[in-house]
Amino acid sequence: MNRSKTGASTKSLTSSRRKFAGRITVGVALLYVGVLGILMFLERYLVFPAPPVSYGNWNSASFGAKEHFIEGHDKTRIHVWAFDNPDAKTTLIFSHGNGESLGMLGDELVAIRDQWNVNVVAFDYRGYGKTGGIPNEHDILSDAVSVGKWVQDGNAFQGQKIIAMGRSLGGALAVEIATEFHADGLILDRTFSSIVDVAASRYFFLPVRWVMQTQFRSIDKVQSYTGELLQLHGDVDEVVPYRFGKKLFDACPTQSKKLLTVQSLYHNSPWPPEFWNAGKKFIKAIEDK
């Protein structure tokens, strides 16, 4: 009798534990799906965290730049600043990072113009600054092509050599411009093989590669680029791990390329002196060809 009661109690306890474990499993699964759903819903905001329009200095004339608005493929107006350098032989098209806008970059663009002796064209992505629309991969890449065509057609600087330059997310746009217009040079600053590579490494516990809509697969497009390449990356980059910059660099087939690896350079650290020097030599070599 005692054994029977003991056996029944054991079975009851085992059943309770199984039910409890089942509830925990269901709860964890629901939490997992919930987190995944939230990230999918917030994808656009995470990839394109445009700063407020009120932030920065939007007086282009105070930086010696001319303000333009050009039409995108769907008639969206793209906001452009053009910095003229009368001694320049080259026009550099600059694509900024995903947390920046033209109003934040005036001094930096002036420094590029003066230290590298180039004309500079920079633009805001749709949904950023004074550019209309809502940011998404397809339209932003199309906007980059529109800006490249505007420069190539001589609306900015006639008969110049063209260098595409991009920082972080802007690296994907620079690759787009460089491959589309066979740019003479391509300068990449702490960018990635694809943005989904970066996201998958950060959210390794989620099926990011299956659900992420935004891809920016620069690694596929750079394989058709055969011009000059200068690439910068820091070995401690906490946003875009070094391996993804190296992966992109290795995929580029050009024989004339240089990867400048800087120790202790973080993702948002200012450009180090060796990068300024390398950029100047890079541009001069292109101009002397």
| pLDDT one-digit tens code per residue, 261-287 | 999 999 999 999 999 999 999 999 999
Q: Is the distance from CB of 234 to CB of 262 less than 8 angstroms?
A: yes
Mean pLDDT on 93-108 = 97
Provide Rg for the chain, Cα atoms. Answer: 25
Residue 30 token pair: 């629901």
Look at residue 210 in the predicted model and tell me its pLDDT.
Answer: 82
Mean pLDDT on 136-141 = 96
For 81, what's the count of Cα atoms within 13 Å in the CB-facing half-sphere?
30
Decide if pLDDT at 180 tops 70. yes
Q: How confident is the model at residue 158 (pLDDT cuts 50, 70, 90)?
A: confident
Alpha-carbon distance 75 to 69, whole Å? 11
pTM: 0.88
Task: List Cβ neighbours of 252 (8 Å cut-off, separation of 6 or more).
Answer: 222, 223, 225, 229
- What percentage of the chain carries pLDDT values higher than 90? 75
Q: How confident is the model at residue 12 (pLDDT cuts 50, 70, 90)?
A: low
Look at residue 1 in the predicted model and tell me its pLDDT.
Answer: 46
User: What totals of helices (H) and strands (E) does the chain contain, helices first?
Assistant: 10, 8
Q: Does domain 43-287 have CATH number 3.40.50.1820?
A: yes
Q: Could you tell me which residues are beta bridge partners of residue 164? A: 93, 186
Q: Which spans in the chain are helix H? A: 2-41, 43-47, 106-115, 137-152, 170-181, 195-202, 208-211, 218-221, 242-251, 273-287
| Average per-residue pLDDT for the chain | 89
CA angle at residue 147 from 146 to 153, to 5 degrees? 85
Compare 203 and 79 and report the one with higher pLDDT: 79
Mean pLDDT on 75-97 = 96
- What percentage of the chain carries pLDDT values higher than 70? 85
Q: Is the distance from CB of 117 to CB of 283 less than 8 angstroms?
A: yes
Q: How confident is the model at residue 6 (pLDDT cuts 50, 70, 90)?
A: low
For 126, what's the count of Cα atoms within 13 Å in the CB-facing half-sphere?
25
Look at residue 208 in the predicted model and tell me its pLDDT.
Answer: 80
Task: List Cβ neighbours of 91 (8 Å cut-off, separation of 6 or more).
Answer: 118, 119, 120, 121, 151, 156, 157, 160, 161, 162, 163
Specify the 3-state DSSP secondary structure of 170.
helix
Q: How confident is the model at residue 32 (pLDDT cuts 50, 70, 90)?
A: very low
